[in-house]
C-alpha cells in the first residue's frame, strides 16, 4: 500500500509518469494501477524532478551576519535540502543542529574549519582558530549532519595567512575520512592558482563565476591553466551566487568554452533573499537559461550532481528506493530581467516557478504555489 501517488507528473525528458511513495521513499514509478490514501493528479501541467538541493546556503538563525531560517530558503521556495556552507564551526555546530531539527527542509552542514564559523569576516586571519581536535570531535558527534568542511580562502578572510589555512584544511580533510571540502574563492591573496593547485578529486570551488580579478578566467578570457588542471583532477565547480560572487560575463564566457558548473547554488541568506540579487535558488537557476544552459543541465545541477558532490546517497534521483523528495514546478515562458552581483542585467525568456516541495512524502505548497492556488484541494 502506498502513502501518496502523484499522477501524470511531467519529467524533465518530457515523459508523463506516476510516482508512488511509501515510508518516505520512492516505491514505484511509471504507470501505477494501485491507489493510495493521498493522490494528486498533475495532469501533465507541471514538471516534477528529484527534490532540489541547494549546495551553499546560510541558515544558522543566530549568525550575526549571514542568517536565515531553513524553511524560508527551503520548502517555501521548492528546495527540499539545504547545505549550510560554514556558518558555524566547532563552537556552534551543536546549537545549529538543535535549532534546525524542527525544520521541514532537510538541513546539512559543511563545518567551518574556524571554530567560530562566520562571526566576523576574517575567521581565518588567526591560525589558532583552527582547532583540529575540536573539528574531529564535532564530525564524530554529528556524522549525519556534518557532511563536509568549508574553508573561505580570500584576502579579507585569511588576512596575512595566505594559503596556510587551505593547506591545513587539506590535512583536516584527510584526518576526517576525506570528507568533501568546499573552498570559497574571492579576492587575492592567495592567488587562485595557488588555491587550485592544492585541490584534489571531489573538492569543490564555490563562487566559481565570481567577477573579481582573481577569477577563473585570465584577462584574455581563457580558463586559467591551474583551474583546467584542477578540473582534470575532478575538482568540482559550484556557483554560490551570493551578494558579491556571480558575474554574467564570467559565466557566459566560461559556459561558452564548455566550463559548466557541477552545482548551481544560491549562497542565500536573509538579506540577499529579500533585497536581491539572489532571491531564491529558483531565481538563480533561471539566470542560467540566459548564459547558455538547458533545462536538463540546470536541473541536474541541483539534483543528481549536488547529491553526488556532497555524497547524499539517497537523494538526487527519481528511482525506486531513493528518498521521496520532489520539487514540482512550472517553466514560464515570458520576458524577464535578471541582475548579477556586479549590477549587470541580463534579459531572459524563461523562468522556473516552484509550486510545491515534497520531503519524504510530505507535501508543502510554496509561496508561489499558494499565490496561484494550483494545489487548493
Ligand atoms: Zn563565500
Ligand atoms: Zn557563503
Ligand 2 centre distance from Cα of residue 15 (Å)? 36
What distance in angstroms lies between residue 176's CA and the mean position of ligand 2's atoms?
22
Q: Rounded to the nearest whole angstrom, what is the distance from the C-alpha of residue 93 to the centroid of ligand 2? A: 16
Contacts of 142 (CB under 8 A, 6+ apart): 93, 94, 97, 109
148: β partners: 110
Q: How many A from CA of 178 to the centre of ligand 2?
A: 21
132 and 195, same domain (yes or no): yes
Q: Which ligand is nearest to the CA of 67?
A: 2
| Ligand 1 center from residue 114 Cα (angstroms) | 14
Is 230 among the domain residues?
yes
pLDDT at 365: 96
Please say whether the beta carbons of 118 and 87 come within 8 A. yes
Does residue 165 share a domain with residue 99? yes
Residues 38 and 96 both lie in one domain: no
Tell me: do 58 and 39 sit in the same domain.
no
Q: Which tens digit of pLDDT belongs to each residue from 18-42?
A: 999 999 999 999 999 999 999 999 9
Q: What is the pLDDT of residue 90?
A: 98
Residues 40 and 75 in one domain: no
Number of structural domains in the chain: 2
CATH for 360 = 2.30.40.10
**Alpha-carbon separation of residue 295 from 4, 206, 290, 314, 319 (angstroms):** 27, 22, 11, 23, 20
Same domain, 129 and 193: yes
* Residue 49 CB partners (closer than 8 Å, separation 6+): 11, 12, 299, 303, 318, 326, 327, 329
Q: Write the pLDDT tens digit of every residue in 166-181.
A: 999 999 999 999 999 9
Ion ligand 2 nearby residues (CB, 5 A) = 85, 267
Considering the domain architecture, whether residues 186 and 209 belong to the same structural domain is answered as yes
Cα(325)–Cα(322) distance, integer angstroms: 8
Distance (Å) from CA 335 to ligand 2 centroid: 30
98 shares a domain with 28: no
Q: How far is the CA of 151 from the centre of ligand 1 (A)?
A: 9
CATH no. for residue 232? 3.20.20.140
pLDDT tens across 133-189, in order? 999 999 999 999 999 999 999 999 999 999 999 999 999 999 999 999 999 999 999
Ligand 1: centre distance to CA 177 (Å): 24
Distance from Cα 58 to the centre of ligand 2, integer Å: 6
Ligand nearest to the CA of 124: 1
Q: Are residues 235 and 273 in the same domain?
A: yes
Taking the C-alpha atoms of residue 205 and residue 207, their distance in angstroms, rounded to an integer, is 7
**361 CA distance to ligand 1 middle (Å):** 33
Same domain, residue pair 43 and 99: no
CA–chain centroid gap for 165, Å, is 23
Question: What is the percentage of the chain residues whose pLDDT exceeds 90?
Answer: 97
Peptide bond into 190 cis (omega under 30): yes
**Element containing residue 135 per DSSP (H, E):** helix 132-141
What cell numbers appear for 45 in the block? 501541467
Shared domain for 160 and 305, answered yes or no, is yes
Distance from residue 362's CA to the centre of ligand 2 (Å): 28
Task: Tell how far the Cα of 315 is from the centroid of ligand 1, in angstroms.
Answer: 25
| Ligand 2 centroid from CA 266, angstroms | 8
Residues of the chain with pLDDT under 70: 377
The domain in which residue 297 lies consists of 52-309
Give the model's pLDDT for residue 377: 56
Ligand nearest to the CA of 57: 2
pTM listed for this prediction: 0.98
Please give the distance, rounded to the nearest whole angstrom, from the Cα atom of residue 246 to the centre of ligand 2: 12
Amino acid at each position: 500500500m502506498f502513502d501518496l501517488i502523484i499522477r501524470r507528473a511531467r519529467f524533465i525528458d518530457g515523459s508523463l509518469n506516476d510516482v508512488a511513495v511509501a515510508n518516505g521513499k520512492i516505491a514505484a514509478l511509471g504507470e501505477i494501477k494501485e491507489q493510495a490514501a493521498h493522490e494528486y493528479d498533475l495532469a501533465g501541467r507541471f514538471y516534477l524532478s528529484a527534490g532540489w538541493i541547494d549546495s551553499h546556503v546560510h541558515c544558522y538563525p543566530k549568525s550575526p551576519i549571514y542568517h536565515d531560517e531553513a524553511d524560508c530558503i527551503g520548502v517555501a521556495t521548492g528546495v527540499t535540502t539545504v547545505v549550510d556552507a560554514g556558518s558555524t564551526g566547532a563552537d556552534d555546530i551543536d546549537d545549529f543542529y538543535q535549532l534546525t531539527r524542527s525544520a521541514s527542509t532537510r538541513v546539512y552542514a559543511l563545518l567551518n574549519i574556524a571554530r567560530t564559523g562566520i562571526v566576523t569576516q576574517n575567521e581565518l586571519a588567526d591560525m589558532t582558530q583552527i582547532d583540529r581536535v575540536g573539528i574531529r570531535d564535532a564530525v564524530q558527534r554529528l556524522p549525519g549532519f556534518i557532511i563536509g568542511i568549508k574553508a573561505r580562502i580570500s584576502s579579507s578572510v585569511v588576512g596575512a595567512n595566505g594559503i596556510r589555512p587551505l593547506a591545513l584544511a587539506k590535512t583536516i580533510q584527510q584526518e576526517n575520512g576525506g570528507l568533501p571540502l568546499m573552498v570559497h574563492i574571492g579576492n587575492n591573496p592567495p592567488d587562485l592558482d595557488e588555491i587550485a593547485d592544492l585541490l584534489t578529486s571531489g573538492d569543490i570551488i564555490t563562487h566559481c563565476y565570481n567577477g573579481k580579478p582573481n577569477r577563473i578566467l585570465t584577462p584574455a578570457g581563457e580558463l586559467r591553466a591551474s583551474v583546467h588542471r584542477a578540473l582534470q583532477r575532478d575538482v568540482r565547480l559550484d556557483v554560490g551566487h551570493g551578494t558579491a560572487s556571480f558575474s554574467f560575463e564570467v559565466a557566459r564566457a566560461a559556459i561558452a568554452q564548455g566550463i559548466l558548473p557541477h552545482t548551481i547554488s544560491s549562497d542565500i541568506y536573509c538579506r540577499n533573499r529579500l533585497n536581491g540579487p539572489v532571491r531564491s535558488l529558483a531565481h538563480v537557476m533561471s539566470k542560467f537559461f540566459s548564459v547558455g544552459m538547458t533545462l536538463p543541465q540546470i536541473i541536474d545541477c541541483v539534483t543528481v550532481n549536488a547529491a553526488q558532490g556532497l555524497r547524499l546517497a539517497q537523494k538526487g534521483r527519481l528511482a525506486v528506493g531513493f528518498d521521496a523528495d520532489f520539487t514540482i514546478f512550472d517553466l514560464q515562458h515570458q520576458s524577464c530581467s535578471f541582475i548579477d552581483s556586479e549590477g549587470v542585467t541580463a534579459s531572459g525568456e524563461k523562468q522556473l516557478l516552484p509550486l510545491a516541495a515534497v520531503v519524504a512524502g510530505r507535501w508543502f505548497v510554496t509561496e508561489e504555489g499558494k499565490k496561484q492556488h494550483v494545489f487548493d484541494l
